[in-house]
Structure 1
Amino acid sequence: MFRRFFQNTRKPEGFLGRMMLRTMNGGHTPLSNWALSLIRPAPDARVLDVGCGGGANIARLTKLCPNGFADGIDYSAESVAFSKKKNARSLGKRCNIRQGDVGALPYGDQTFNLVTAFETVYFWPDLGKAFHEILRVLKPGGQFLLVCEMDDVTNTTWTGLIDGMTIYSGEDLKARILQAGFASVRLERNQSCWIALLAEKRR
Protein backbone atom coordinates (compact mmCIF):
# COMPACT_ATOMS: atom_id res chain seq x y z
CA MET A 1 0.00 0.00 0.00
CA PHE A 2 2.86 2.38 0.90
CA ARG A 3 4.55 1.89 -2.49
CA ARG A 4 1.22 2.10 -4.34
CA PHE A 5 0.48 5.42 -2.64
CA PHE A 6 3.79 6.97 -3.68
CA GLN A 7 3.41 5.83 -7.30
CA ASN A 8 0.72 8.52 -7.39
CA THR A 9 3.41 11.16 -7.12
CA ARG A 10 4.15 10.47 -10.79
CA LYS A 11 0.60 10.13 -12.09
CA PRO A 12 -2.25 10.44 -9.56
CA GLU A 13 -5.11 8.01 -10.17
CA GLY A 14 -8.20 7.03 -8.21
CA PHE A 15 -8.66 7.32 -4.45
CA LEU A 16 -4.95 7.13 -3.64
CA GLY A 17 -4.26 9.72 -6.31
CA ARG A 18 -6.72 12.15 -4.74
CA MET A 19 -5.10 11.56 -1.36
CA MET A 20 -1.71 12.34 -2.87
CA LEU A 21 -3.01 15.54 -4.51
CA ARG A 22 -4.37 16.77 -1.18
CA THR A 23 -1.03 15.96 0.43
CA MET A 24 0.92 17.80 -2.26
CA ASN A 25 -1.33 20.86 -2.17
CA GLY A 26 -0.61 21.29 1.52
CA GLY A 27 2.92 19.92 1.78
CA HIS A 28 4.35 21.95 -1.09
CA THR A 29 3.07 25.30 0.20
CA PRO A 30 6.39 26.45 1.73
CA LEU A 31 8.28 25.43 -1.41
CA SER A 32 5.84 27.25 -3.68
CA ASN A 33 5.78 30.40 -1.57
CA TRP A 34 9.58 30.56 -1.52
CA ALA A 35 9.89 30.08 -5.28
CA LEU A 36 7.14 32.56 -6.14
CA SER A 37 8.86 35.17 -3.96
CA LEU A 38 11.69 35.15 -6.54
CA ILE A 39 9.54 36.51 -9.38
CA ARG A 40 7.57 39.69 -10.08
CA PRO A 41 5.20 39.01 -12.98
CA ALA A 42 3.06 41.84 -14.29
CA PRO A 43 -0.45 42.07 -12.76
CA ASP A 44 -1.95 41.20 -16.16
CA ALA A 45 0.49 38.38 -17.02
CA ARG A 46 -0.63 35.26 -18.88
CA VAL A 47 0.80 32.29 -16.98
CA LEU A 48 1.07 28.54 -17.59
CA ASP A 49 1.66 26.01 -14.79
CA VAL A 50 3.00 22.74 -16.22
CA GLY A 51 2.20 19.67 -14.14
CA CYS A 52 -0.41 21.61 -12.19
CA GLY A 53 -1.24 18.66 -9.91
CA GLY A 54 -3.86 19.57 -7.31
CA GLY A 55 -4.18 23.15 -8.53
CA ALA A 56 -2.83 25.00 -5.49
CA ASN A 57 -0.29 26.86 -7.59
CA ILE A 58 -2.94 27.88 -10.11
CA ALA A 59 -4.76 29.58 -7.22
CA ARG A 60 -1.53 31.27 -6.11
CA LEU A 61 -0.76 32.48 -9.63
CA THR A 62 -4.20 34.03 -10.12
CA LYS A 63 -3.65 35.98 -6.89
CA LEU A 64 -0.12 36.95 -7.92
CA CYS A 65 -1.46 38.27 -11.27
CA PRO A 66 -4.81 39.80 -10.26
CA ASN A 67 -5.59 41.08 -13.76
CA GLY A 68 -4.05 38.13 -15.59
CA PHE A 69 -4.98 34.60 -16.57
CA ALA A 70 -3.49 31.26 -15.50
CA ASP A 71 -3.54 28.10 -17.57
CA GLY A 72 -2.76 24.71 -16.06
CA ILE A 73 -1.84 21.46 -17.75
CA ASP A 74 -1.25 17.96 -16.40
CA TYR A 75 -1.07 14.53 -18.02
CA SER A 76 -3.08 12.97 -15.19
CA ALA A 77 -6.85 13.13 -15.68
CA GLU A 78 -7.23 12.85 -11.89
CA SER A 79 -5.02 15.90 -11.40
CA VAL A 80 -6.98 17.90 -13.97
CA ALA A 81 -10.31 17.09 -12.28
CA PHE A 82 -8.91 17.85 -8.82
CA SER A 83 -7.34 21.12 -9.98
CA LYS A 84 -10.58 22.22 -11.64
CA LYS A 85 -12.46 21.58 -8.39
CA LYS A 86 -9.84 23.50 -6.42
CA ASN A 87 -10.21 26.49 -8.75
CA ALA A 88 -13.92 26.18 -9.52
CA ARG A 89 -14.72 29.84 -8.82
CA SER A 90 -12.03 31.07 -11.22
CA LEU A 91 -12.46 28.45 -13.92
CA GLY A 92 -13.22 29.99 -17.30
CA LYS A 93 -12.83 33.49 -15.87
CA ARG A 94 -9.31 33.67 -14.46
CA CYS A 95 -7.96 30.22 -15.29
CA ASN A 96 -8.29 27.21 -17.56
CA ILE A 97 -7.06 23.67 -16.86
CA ARG A 98 -6.65 20.81 -19.31
CA GLN A 99 -5.00 17.44 -19.80
CA GLY A 100 -1.87 17.39 -21.94
CA ASP A 101 1.81 16.66 -22.36
CA VAL A 102 4.73 19.02 -21.70
CA GLY A 103 6.42 17.57 -24.78
CA ALA A 104 3.58 18.80 -27.03
CA LEU A 105 1.99 21.82 -25.36
CA PRO A 106 -1.45 22.62 -26.85
CA TYR A 107 -0.82 26.37 -27.02
CA GLY A 108 0.30 28.74 -29.73
CA ASP A 109 3.73 30.29 -30.09
CA GLN A 110 4.51 33.24 -27.80
CA THR A 111 1.38 32.87 -25.67
CA PHE A 112 2.71 33.25 -22.12
CA ASN A 113 4.64 35.78 -20.07
CA LEU A 114 5.54 33.14 -17.48
CA VAL A 115 5.68 29.33 -17.36
CA THR A 116 6.08 27.55 -14.03
CA ALA A 117 6.79 23.92 -13.15
CA PHE A 118 6.80 22.73 -9.53
CA GLU A 119 8.04 19.28 -8.51
CA THR A 120 7.30 17.72 -11.88
CA VAL A 121 10.49 17.71 -13.98
CA TYR A 122 11.47 14.39 -12.35
CA PHE A 123 8.89 12.65 -14.54
CA TRP A 124 9.37 14.34 -17.93
CA PRO A 125 10.50 11.68 -20.42
CA ASP A 126 12.42 14.07 -22.71
CA LEU A 127 13.81 17.20 -21.05
CA GLY A 128 15.16 18.69 -24.27
CA LYS A 129 11.81 18.45 -26.00
CA ALA A 130 9.98 19.82 -22.96
CA PHE A 131 12.30 22.81 -22.59
CA HIS A 132 12.00 23.59 -26.32
CA GLU A 133 8.20 23.51 -26.03
CA ILE A 134 8.25 25.84 -23.03
CA LEU A 135 10.56 28.21 -24.91
CA ARG A 136 8.20 28.12 -27.90
CA VAL A 137 5.09 29.15 -25.94
CA LEU A 138 6.86 31.96 -24.05
CA LYS A 139 6.73 35.51 -25.33
CA PRO A 140 10.06 37.28 -25.98
CA GLY A 141 11.43 38.28 -22.58
CA GLY A 142 9.14 35.74 -20.90
CA GLN A 143 10.31 33.73 -17.89
CA PHE A 144 10.39 30.05 -16.98
CA LEU A 145 10.43 29.11 -13.27
CA LEU A 146 11.42 25.50 -12.53
CA VAL A 147 11.23 24.38 -8.89
CA CYS A 148 12.42 21.19 -7.15
CA GLU A 149 12.76 20.00 -3.57
CA MET A 150 15.58 17.65 -4.56
CA ASP A 151 18.70 17.88 -6.70
CA ASP A 152 20.95 15.33 -4.95
CA VAL A 153 21.45 12.73 -7.68
CA THR A 154 23.11 10.34 -5.21
CA ASN A 155 19.97 10.05 -3.10
CA THR A 156 18.12 6.98 -4.37
CA THR A 157 15.48 6.86 -1.62
CA TRP A 158 12.73 8.33 -3.78
CA THR A 159 13.88 7.08 -7.16
CA GLY A 160 13.91 3.56 -5.73
CA LEU A 161 10.36 3.98 -4.47
CA ILE A 162 8.71 5.80 -7.38
CA ASP A 163 8.86 4.25 -10.86
CA GLY A 164 10.00 6.55 -13.66
CA MET A 165 11.47 9.22 -11.36
CA THR A 166 14.81 10.89 -12.14
CA ILE A 167 16.51 13.49 -9.95
CA TYR A 168 18.66 16.07 -11.74
CA SER A 169 21.24 18.38 -10.23
CA GLY A 170 20.54 22.09 -10.43
CA GLU A 171 23.65 22.57 -12.54
CA ASP A 172 22.53 19.87 -14.99
CA LEU A 173 19.10 21.45 -15.35
CA LYS A 174 20.66 24.88 -15.87
CA ALA A 175 22.88 23.53 -18.65
CA ARG A 176 19.97 21.78 -20.36
CA ILE A 177 17.76 24.87 -20.22
CA LEU A 178 20.50 27.00 -21.75
CA GLN A 179 21.07 24.34 -24.42
CA ALA A 180 17.37 24.59 -25.33
CA GLY A 181 17.93 28.21 -26.31
CA PHE A 182 17.07 30.34 -23.29
CA ALA A 183 19.06 33.59 -23.01
CA SER A 184 19.89 33.23 -19.33
CA VAL A 185 19.25 31.00 -16.31
CA ARG A 186 19.66 31.86 -12.63
CA LEU A 187 19.98 28.99 -10.14
CA GLU A 188 18.79 29.68 -6.58
CA ARG A 189 19.11 27.47 -3.50
CA ASN A 190 17.72 28.03 -0.02
CA GLN A 191 18.56 26.70 3.44
CA SER A 192 16.35 23.65 2.87
CA CYS A 193 18.38 22.76 -0.25
CA TRP A 194 15.41 23.43 -2.49
CA ILE A 195 16.27 24.77 -5.93
CA ALA A 196 14.63 27.20 -8.30
CA LEU A 197 15.82 27.98 -11.80
CA LEU A 198 14.64 31.22 -13.36
CA ALA A 199 15.22 31.33 -17.12
CA GLU A 200 14.48 34.10 -19.59
CA LYS A 201 13.69 33.94 -23.29
CA ARG A 202 15.57 36.32 -25.58
CA ARG A 203 13.74 39.55 -26.31
Structure 2
Amino acid sequence: MANRIFQNTRKPVGTLGRMMLKGMNTGHAPLASWGFSYLDLRPGSHILDVGCGGGANIAKMLADVPQSTADGLDYSDESVAYSKKTNAAHLGPRCTIRQGDVACLPYPDHVLDYVTAFEIIYFWPDLDTAFAEISRALKPEGELFICCEEDDPSDTTWTDRIEGMTVYAAHDLEGRLLRQGYQSVQIHHHAEKGWMCLTAVNP
Protein backbone atom coordinates (compact mmCIF):
# COMPACT_ATOMS: atom_id res chain seq x y z
CA MET A 1 0.00 0.00 0.00
CA ALA A 2 2.76 2.47 0.93
CA ASN A 3 4.50 1.92 -2.41
CA ARG A 4 1.26 2.56 -4.31
CA ILE A 5 0.75 5.82 -2.44
CA PHE A 6 4.26 7.03 -3.25
CA GLN A 7 3.80 6.27 -6.96
CA ASN A 8 0.91 8.73 -6.96
CA THR A 9 3.35 11.57 -6.41
CA ARG A 10 4.59 10.86 -9.95
CA LYS A 11 1.26 10.21 -11.68
CA PRO A 12 -1.88 10.44 -9.55
CA VAL A 13 -4.45 7.77 -10.39
CA GLY A 14 -7.84 6.93 -8.91
CA THR A 15 -8.84 7.40 -5.27
CA LEU A 16 -5.27 7.35 -3.98
CA GLY A 17 -4.35 9.88 -6.62
CA ARG A 18 -7.13 12.24 -5.58
CA MET A 19 -6.03 11.92 -1.96
CA MET A 20 -2.46 12.73 -3.01
CA LEU A 21 -3.55 15.77 -5.02
CA LYS A 22 -5.52 17.13 -2.09
CA GLY A 23 -2.47 16.63 0.11
CA MET A 24 -0.20 18.29 -2.42
CA ASN A 25 -2.39 21.39 -2.61
CA THR A 26 -1.99 21.94 1.11
CA GLY A 27 1.36 20.28 1.82
CA HIS A 28 3.27 22.10 -0.91
CA ALA A 29 1.79 25.49 -0.03
CA PRO A 30 4.75 26.63 2.12
CA LEU A 31 7.23 25.69 -0.62
CA ALA A 32 5.15 27.46 -3.26
CA SER A 33 4.76 30.57 -1.12
CA TRP A 34 8.53 30.74 -0.63
CA GLY A 35 9.18 30.16 -4.32
CA PHE A 36 6.71 32.80 -5.45
CA SER A 37 8.69 35.39 -3.50
CA TYR A 38 11.40 35.03 -6.17
CA LEU A 39 9.04 35.19 -9.13
CA ASP A 40 7.98 38.60 -10.38
CA LEU A 41 4.84 37.97 -12.41
CA ARG A 42 3.72 40.93 -14.50
CA PRO A 43 0.02 41.77 -14.88
CA GLY A 44 -1.41 40.72 -18.21
CA SER A 45 1.00 37.80 -18.59
CA HIS A 46 0.32 34.41 -20.14
CA ILE A 47 1.56 31.77 -17.68
CA LEU A 48 1.76 28.00 -18.04
CA ASP A 49 2.15 25.77 -14.98
CA VAL A 50 3.63 22.47 -16.18
CA GLY A 51 2.78 19.52 -13.96
CA CYS A 52 -0.04 21.51 -12.42
CA GLY A 53 -1.14 18.72 -10.06
CA GLY A 54 -4.09 19.80 -7.97
CA GLY A 55 -4.12 23.33 -9.39
CA ALA A 56 -3.34 25.30 -6.23
CA ASN A 57 -0.51 27.27 -7.84
CA ILE A 58 -2.70 28.18 -10.80
CA ALA A 59 -5.33 29.47 -8.37
CA LYS A 60 -2.75 31.62 -6.60
CA MET A 61 -1.43 33.12 -9.83
CA LEU A 62 -4.94 33.91 -11.08
CA ALA A 63 -5.72 35.64 -7.79
CA ASP A 64 -2.42 37.49 -7.44
CA VAL A 65 -1.79 38.63 -11.00
CA PRO A 66 -4.58 40.83 -12.42
CA GLN A 67 -5.64 40.32 -16.02
CA SER A 68 -3.34 37.33 -16.37
CA THR A 69 -3.97 34.03 -18.09
CA ALA A 70 -2.73 31.03 -16.09
CA ASP A 71 -2.98 27.67 -17.83
CA GLY A 72 -2.17 24.21 -16.55
CA LEU A 73 -0.70 21.10 -18.15
CA ASP A 74 -0.34 17.66 -16.63
CA TYR A 75 0.05 14.15 -18.03
CA SER A 76 -2.24 12.67 -15.37
CA ASP A 77 -5.96 12.57 -16.16
CA GLU A 78 -6.65 12.68 -12.44
CA SER A 79 -4.55 15.82 -12.00
CA VAL A 80 -6.26 17.57 -14.92
CA ALA A 81 -9.71 16.82 -13.48
CA TYR A 82 -8.73 17.90 -9.97
CA SER A 83 -7.04 21.09 -11.19
CA LYS A 84 -10.11 21.98 -13.25
CA LYS A 85 -12.26 21.56 -10.15
CA THR A 86 -9.90 23.77 -8.11
CA ASN A 87 -10.05 26.51 -10.75
CA ALA A 88 -13.61 26.02 -11.98
CA ALA A 89 -14.51 29.69 -11.52
CA HIS A 90 -11.82 30.81 -13.96
CA LEU A 91 -11.97 28.17 -16.69
CA GLY A 92 -12.35 29.83 -20.07
CA PRO A 93 -10.49 32.92 -21.27
CA ARG A 94 -8.28 33.17 -18.17
CA CYS A 95 -7.51 29.49 -17.61
CA THR A 96 -7.21 26.37 -19.73
CA ILE A 97 -6.16 23.08 -18.14
CA ARG A 98 -5.38 20.05 -20.28
CA GLN A 99 -3.54 16.80 -20.44
CA GLY A 100 -0.19 16.95 -22.19
CA ASP A 101 3.54 16.36 -22.22
CA VAL A 102 6.23 18.93 -21.46
CA ALA A 103 8.18 17.56 -24.42
CA CYS A 104 5.37 18.60 -26.80
CA LEU A 105 3.62 21.70 -25.49
CA PRO A 106 0.25 22.54 -27.13
CA TYR A 107 1.31 26.12 -27.93
CA PRO A 108 2.74 27.85 -31.01
CA ASP A 109 6.18 29.42 -30.88
CA HIS A 110 6.91 32.31 -28.53
CA VAL A 111 3.51 32.93 -26.92
CA LEU A 112 4.14 32.35 -23.19
CA ASP A 113 5.53 34.91 -20.77
CA TYR A 114 6.26 32.43 -17.98
CA VAL A 115 6.49 28.68 -17.56
CA THR A 116 6.46 27.42 -13.97
CA ALA A 117 7.41 23.95 -12.75
CA PHE A 118 6.79 23.16 -9.08
CA GLU A 119 8.01 19.81 -7.72
CA ILE A 120 7.84 18.18 -11.15
CA ILE A 121 11.18 18.16 -13.00
CA TYR A 122 12.10 15.00 -11.05
CA PHE A 123 9.77 13.07 -13.36
CA TRP A 124 10.64 14.50 -16.77
CA PRO A 125 12.26 11.65 -18.71
CA ASP A 126 14.39 13.97 -20.87
CA LEU A 127 15.24 17.23 -19.14
CA ASP A 128 17.14 18.76 -22.07
CA THR A 129 14.29 18.10 -24.50
CA ALA A 130 11.85 19.64 -22.03
CA PHE A 131 13.98 22.76 -21.61
CA ALA A 132 14.28 23.14 -25.39
CA GLU A 133 10.51 22.78 -25.85
CA ILE A 134 9.80 25.31 -23.12
CA SER A 135 12.23 27.72 -24.78
CA ARG A 136 10.33 27.31 -28.06
CA ALA A 137 7.01 28.24 -26.45
CA LEU A 138 8.37 31.10 -24.34
CA LYS A 139 8.57 34.60 -25.75
CA PRO A 140 12.01 36.18 -26.07
CA GLU A 141 12.93 37.25 -22.53
CA GLY A 142 10.17 35.03 -21.18
CA GLU A 143 11.00 33.26 -17.95
CA LEU A 144 11.24 29.65 -16.79
CA PHE A 145 10.75 29.12 -13.06
CA ILE A 146 11.63 25.85 -11.30
CA CYS A 147 10.91 25.15 -7.62
CA CYS A 148 11.86 21.94 -5.79
CA GLU A 149 12.02 20.64 -2.26
CA GLU A 150 14.94 18.39 -3.21
CA ASP A 151 18.17 19.25 -5.03
CA ASP A 152 20.68 16.84 -3.48
CA PRO A 153 21.13 13.78 -5.74
CA SER A 154 23.07 11.97 -3.00
CA ASP A 155 19.96 11.89 -0.79
CA THR A 156 18.01 8.85 -2.01
CA THR A 157 15.22 9.02 0.59
CA TRP A 158 12.57 9.59 -2.06
CA THR A 159 14.22 8.26 -5.19
CA ASP A 160 14.43 4.84 -3.52
CA ARG A 161 10.66 4.90 -2.97
CA ILE A 162 9.31 6.55 -6.11
CA GLU A 163 9.90 4.91 -9.48
CA GLY A 164 11.17 7.21 -12.21
CA MET A 165 12.21 10.01 -9.86
CA THR A 166 15.54 11.81 -10.35
CA VAL A 167 16.81 14.64 -8.17
CA TYR A 168 18.96 17.28 -9.88
CA ALA A 169 21.48 19.58 -8.27
CA ALA A 170 20.97 23.28 -8.91
CA HIS A 171 24.36 23.62 -10.63
CA ASP A 172 23.42 20.75 -12.99
CA LEU A 173 20.19 22.52 -13.93
CA GLU A 174 22.05 25.78 -14.44
CA GLY A 175 24.54 24.13 -16.80
CA ARG A 176 21.80 22.46 -18.83
CA LEU A 177 19.85 25.70 -19.14
CA LEU A 178 22.88 27.72 -20.21
CA ARG A 179 23.73 25.13 -22.85
CA GLN A 180 20.17 25.48 -24.18
CA GLY A 181 20.75 29.21 -24.53
CA TYR A 182 18.88 30.45 -21.46
CA GLN A 183 20.37 33.49 -19.78
CA SER A 184 20.54 35.14 -16.36
CA VAL A 185 20.02 31.94 -14.35
CA GLN A 186 19.37 32.87 -10.73
CA ILE A 187 19.42 30.19 -8.00
CA HIS A 188 17.99 30.54 -4.50
CA HIS A 189 18.12 28.14 -1.55
CA HIS A 190 16.10 28.10 1.65
CA ALA A 191 18.72 28.12 4.38
CA GLU A 192 16.73 25.93 6.79
CA LYS A 193 14.57 23.72 4.58
CA GLY A 194 17.04 23.06 1.79
CA TRP A 195 14.49 24.05 -0.84
CA MET A 196 15.69 25.35 -4.20
CA CYS A 197 14.21 27.58 -6.86
CA LEU A 198 15.67 29.12 -9.96
CA THR A 199 14.71 31.46 -12.73
CA ALA A 200 16.10 31.48 -16.25
CA VAL A 201 15.44 33.97 -19.04
CA ASN A 202 14.71 32.81 -22.57
CA PRO A 203 16.98 34.35 -25.22
Distance 2:111 2:52 in 1: 18
Q: Once the 2 structures are TM-superposed, how far is the Cα of residue 145 of structure 1 from its aligned partner?
A: 0.4
Structure 2: distance between partners of 1:194 and 1:103: 25
Quick one: distance in 1 between partners of 2:142 and 2:72? Answer: 17
Moved over 4 A (4+): none
Partner of 1:156 in structure 2? 156
Q: Distance in 1 between matches of 2:101 and 2:163?
A: 18
Q: Deviation of residue 41 (structure 1)?
A: 1.6
2:177 aligned residue = 177
Matched with 1:121 is 121
Instruction: Report the CA distance between 1:91 and its aligned residue.
Output: 0.6
- Please give the secondary structure, in 1, of the residue aligned with 2:63: helix
Aligned to 1:108: 108
1:90: which partner in 2?
A: 90
Count of equivalent residues: 202
Identity of aligned residues (%): 54
The runs of 5 or more residues in structure 2 that have no matched partner are none
Whole-Å Cα distance in 2 between the matches of residues 78 and 125 of structure 1? Answer: 20
Provide structure 1 residue ranges, at least 5 long, that are not aligned to the other structure: none
CA distance in 2, matches of 1:157, 1:39: 29
Alpha-carbon distance in 2 for matches of 1:82, 1:101: 17
Amino acid at match of 1:153: P
Indicate the residue corresponding to 1:199 in structure 2: 200
| Letter in structure 1 aligned against 2:135 | L
Alignment-derived partner of residue 131 in structure 1: 131
Q: Secondary structure at the match of 1:83?
A: helix
Partner deviation per Cα, 1:158-194 (whole Å, 9 max, x = no partner): 1110000001111111111111111221111012110
Q: CA offsets per residue over residues 75-104 of structure 1, 9 Å max, x none?
A: 001000000000000011321100000011
Within 2, Cα distance between the matches of 1:27 and 1:99? 23
Deviation track 1:128-147 (CA, whole Å, cap 9, x = no partner) reads 10000111111111111001
Match of residue 22 from structure 2: 22
Counterpart in the other structure of 1:58? 58
**Residue 4 (structure 2) aligns with:** 4
CA RMSD, Structure 1 to Structure 2 (Å)? 0.8
